[in-house]
Amino acid sequence: MNWTKKEMPLIPGYESLGDDVAAKRWLDFKLTELLDTGDPVWEYRDELKTRKDICDFVIQQIDYPFHLGAPTDKHYNNWFDSGCCHQITEDYWQQASETLATLRLNKRDGKKGLGDCEDTSVLFVTLMLEKGFEAWECLGEVLQNSIPIGGHGWSIFKSDDSFWRIYESTLDVPPNYPEGYPRIDPDETSWKVEGLTYQAYAKFDRHEYYEANDAEETMKKLTSLPFKAKETRRKYEAIAKAWGKGTKPLSKANILSRARWK
């Protein structure tokens, strides 16, 4: 497949869908809004100086959300003493500033920030763009032996040596920079990492949006995936094997997880 440039799509949110599996944010939104520049993005932009700083920071400082042994992305929106209270129970897509806000707030209790695969990869791309570095957010699936094993969000970026590389934000330990991040051709739409295939259906930055040829219907299905169909144990086991490193979801799993997270 090849890339086709398209208009940045409008993704329906809670205002159009209610608490539906396809509602990713409260209001209808364009994907570029995820790569926002609001506080505290500015604060961390000034603290992080290099590409390596950003690669390490996102992996080390943002943890994976679990509740009672299972991955969760349940979000509440509670304003005005319950006068305006809503919830998205499946898969909320956080802006970069929202993911950093969880870090700022959780620091009070000595904890890390929280975000799943697309939340952390969006944060990575945002911080890279803030420093003037080249990076794209990718949405798609990961495949093992040509079989899809979960929807996924990840990033690609140009490293200091001018090679494009893939960035997996759900690892629990940063690879060595830059050689630990596999080199890729950004003009392709799928990339292999030790037998695991990252199949991208869309990529975007703050200005441009591309879809893989014939992927429009696939993207619609991807944005309506139930959380449990995206964040599978099998997916993270395959990612850990391909990268030779643990992943945050597996490192947080416990005995209860074996029963509740398939």
User: Does residue 208 carry a pLDDT above 90?
Assistant: yes
Reported as a single tens digit per residue, the pLDDT across 145-183 is 999 999 999 999 999 999 999 999 999 999 999 999 999
User: Does residue 20 carry a pLDDT above 80?
Assistant: no
In three-state secondary structure terms, 131 is coil
Q: What is the pTM of this model?
A: 0.96
Q: Where are the domains of the chain?
A: 3-260
Report the percentage of the chain scoring pLDDT > 70: 100
Per-residue pLDDT at 229 = 84
d(CA 88, CA 259): 24
In this prediction, residue 218 has a pLDDT band, given cuts at 50, 70 and 90, of confident
Across the strands, what pairs with 78?
Answer: 85
In this prediction, residue 224 has a pLDDT band, given cuts at 50, 70 and 90, of confident
Per-residue pLDDT at 205 = 98
User: Which amino acid is located at 181 in the chain?
Assistant: Y
Per-residue pLDDT at 258 = 75
Average pLDDT along the chain: 93
d(CA 106, CA 250): 21
d(CA 162, CA 148): 31
User: Does residue 191 carry a pLDDT above 90?
Assistant: yes
Which token pair is 156?
């690609």
User: Does residue 262 carry a pLDDT above 80?
Assistant: no
**E strand or H helix at 88:** strand 84-88
Per-residue pLDDT at 19 = 83
Q: Please, how many CA atoms are within 13 Å of residue 150, restricted to the half-sphere of its CB?
A: 19
Reported as a single tens digit per residue, the pLDDT across 54-98 is 999 999 999 999 988 889 998 988 888 878 999 998 899 999 999
In this prediction, residue 139 has a pLDDT band, given cuts at 50, 70 and 90, of very high
189 touches 1 (CB < 8 A): yes
The residue among 152, 157, 198 whose CA lies nearest residue 53 is 157
In three-state secondary structure terms, 184 is coil
User: Does residue 121 carry a pLDDT above 90?
Assistant: yes
Per-residue pLDDT at 63 = 96
**Ranges assigned E (strand) in 99-146:** 113-114, 135-144
